[in-house]
Structure 1
Amino acid sequence: MYGEVVSASPLTPQLVRVVLGGPGLETFELGADADQYVNCFFLPDAAPYAVPFDDEAVRELPREQRPYPRRITVRAWDEERRELTLDIATHGDLGYAGRWAAHAQPGDRLQFRGPAGGYRPPADADSYLLVGDESALPAIAACAEAVPSGRPVVAVIEVEDAAGEVALSSPGDLEVHWVHRAGRHDGLDDLLAEAVAALPRPAGVVSAFVHGEAAETRAVRRVLLRAGIVEPERLSCSPYWRRGLDDEAWRAVKAAWVREVAAEPVD
């Protein structure tokens, strides 16, 4: 499946909103989860092919010619217009996804598989906690929009500075806390955990969505589980990236990291 760029524009200094359309989306169907994502394939400069391409055929090419897969959150799907909106995090010229998004032009094509997902704010929770950085902001925004009407929902989001903030909406009773890292040179791994620990303790059954930078999600997980704020089965916690590692280096160690975190005592 693939889409053609309809528009691409900066949403913040760290996020680019890309809208895809075209006949390559004829069979696209959005699932029920709020954190839907598509597995996109970004072509290297040396690629001797273009979108659409045969998935099986490109696997036989040398590594430097094969596409780089990246999971990108579905920010919105317009069923009537058949248009898919992706908000893609950028880090200058680092990373294939961000570099592609920063330079995307109408008519450019992006191939992907999916969508898939794993979380939707459950109807039986009393309140909701959504935590992450820019990489998780699109998913947090989508989850906030899926909260049952009138339920308390708190979002704690780390961005560089005020320019990275975006308006969020929710049918729930939404409270947003922005955490700025500008000017901080140490303690970055604990920024979100400190902000979450400072919140008033929510009453009742809490459902939490904690995604983003690996060390930060791990630190937030410790706060939530060790304080008994969230039961393990009601915590969706996933590391998207790791500070100090590029995409490929992180992909090489991510599975081991996830296993290590899952085995960590919470008491």
Structure 2
Amino acid sequence: MSLLENILKKVVLDEAIIHQKEKITPSVYKIKLKSESFKKIDFTPGYFLRLGIGIGNDELSMKDKVRSYSVWDIDKSNGTLDLAIATESNGIGSKWVANCKENETVYFKWKKGNFLIDNSADSYLMIGDLSALSHLYILSRYLPKEKQVESLIYSENLNHLFADINNNKPFNFHSLKQNSIDDILIIIKQIVPKMKGNKMVYIAGDSRVCIALNQYFRKELNWNTKNIKTKPFWNPKKKGLE
């Protein structure tokens, strides 16, 4: 382990224990972490956790040693936090989650970002693929009950999509191929007229879809940019995109 990694572990990063590990679909693991520091965090739904999954692996470059994952759920009273980690990409994070074991120590840092809960709208549309599902779940779960929430969650394999942390399935799942922008737009045009009052959309997952839909809501529907939240989680031509 390099000197820089030792400094990261002792000074920069916090520690957690893998409390539970469970495979919940053919391509998704649920990881429950436990740490006293989780009890103290001033948490906002939409936060990410940067995990030092490659610390100690000298074969990896420094940029490949850290991956960011959406916080799916947090229980501050018990000091636990849940992540849903997909393995479809077969990348570094996929290999780590397949091989990690309960009671192992992991190192992490918070990433707050801008893809956070926003209560200012009357109705919401959640759009995303498998990579974004846990993030959209927690945003929807923390919205006030009176808010209208519509959804468009898609995957080529519906059995890879999972229920929310409370075992509810509040979103509508669609069997679509990656980057099926035309098919997604057809469904969006059916949903938007049902939305009431001040409308907001969260778009996450494939960066190509994020870009195309952002342009559609801005240029075709003339929505205010503040009401269009986008977060590319991955791109097939790039490695390590959050």
Q: 1:178 to 1:37 in 2, by over 3 A?
A: same
2:172 to 177, 181, 188: 177
Q: Distance in 2 between matches of 1:218 and 1:144?
A: 22
Q: 1:198 to 1:158 in 2, by over 3 A?
A: same
2:46 to 35, 41, 49: 35
- The amino acid of 1:225's aligned partner reads R
1:26 to 23, 33, 36: 36
Partner residue of 1:111? 107
- Structure 1 unaligned segments of length 5 or more: list them: 48-61, 252-267
For residue 171 of structure 2, give the secondary structure of its aligned residue in structure 1. strand
Q: Distance in 2 between matches of 1:11 and 1:224?
A: 34
- The amino acid of 2:235's aligned partner reads R
1:215 to 208, 212, 230: 208
- The amino acid of 1:199's aligned partner reads I
1:188 equivalent in alignment to 2:180: yes
- Shift of residue 120, structure 1, vs aligned partner: 4.1
Q: 1:70 to 1:90 in 2, by over 3 A?
A: same
1:90 equivalent in alignment to 2:101: no
- The amino acid of 2:74's aligned partner reads W
**TM-score (normalised: structure 1):** 0.74
Q: Distance in 2 between matches of 1:180 and 1:101?
A: 26
RMSD: 2.8
Partner residue of 1:99? 95
CA deviations 1:45-74 (Å, max 9, x no partner) are 743xxxxxxxxxxxxxx9636752211111
Q: Distance in 2 between matches of 1:117 and 1:11?
A: 27
- Shift of residue 220, structure 1, vs aligned partner: 1.7
2:151 to 119, 140, 155: 155
Partner residue of 2:30? 17
- Shift of residue 11, structure 1, vs aligned partner: 1.9
2:189 to 188, 197, 200: 197
- Structure 2 unaligned segments of length 5 or more: list them: 1-13
Q: Distance in 2 between matches of 1:177 and 1:226?
A: 26
For residue 199 of structure 1, give the secondary structure of its aligned residue in structure 2. helix
Conserved? CA contact 2:204–2:210, under 8 Å: yes
Conserved? CA contact 2:73–2:165, under 8 Å: no
Q: Distance in 1 between matches of 2:145 and 2:222?
A: 22
Partner residue of 2:68? 71
Q: 1:169 to 1:42 in 2, by over 3 A?
A: closer
1:6 equivalent in alignment to 2:19: yes
Q: Distance in 2 between matches of 1:65 and 1:225?
A: 38
For residue 52 of structure 2, give the secondary structure of its aligned residue in structure 1. strand
Q: 1:229 to 1:35 in 2, by over 3 A?
A: farther
Q: Distance in 2 between matches of 1:64 and 1:119?
A: 28
Q: 1:134 to 1:43 in 2, by over 3 A?
A: same
Q: 1:42 to 1:231 in 2, by over 3 A?
A: same
Q: Distance in 2 between matches of 1:224 and 1:102?
A: 38
- Shift of residue 6, structure 1, vs aligned partner: 1.4
2:232 to 219, 227, 239: 239
Q: Distance in 1 between matches of 2:119 and 2:186?
A: 28
- The amino acid of 2:217's aligned partner reads L
- Shift of residue 168, structure 1, vs aligned partner: 4.2
Q: Distance in 2 between matches of 1:34 and 1:45?
A: 31
CA deviations 1:183-207 (Å, max 9, x no partner) are x4x8635443443233242232112
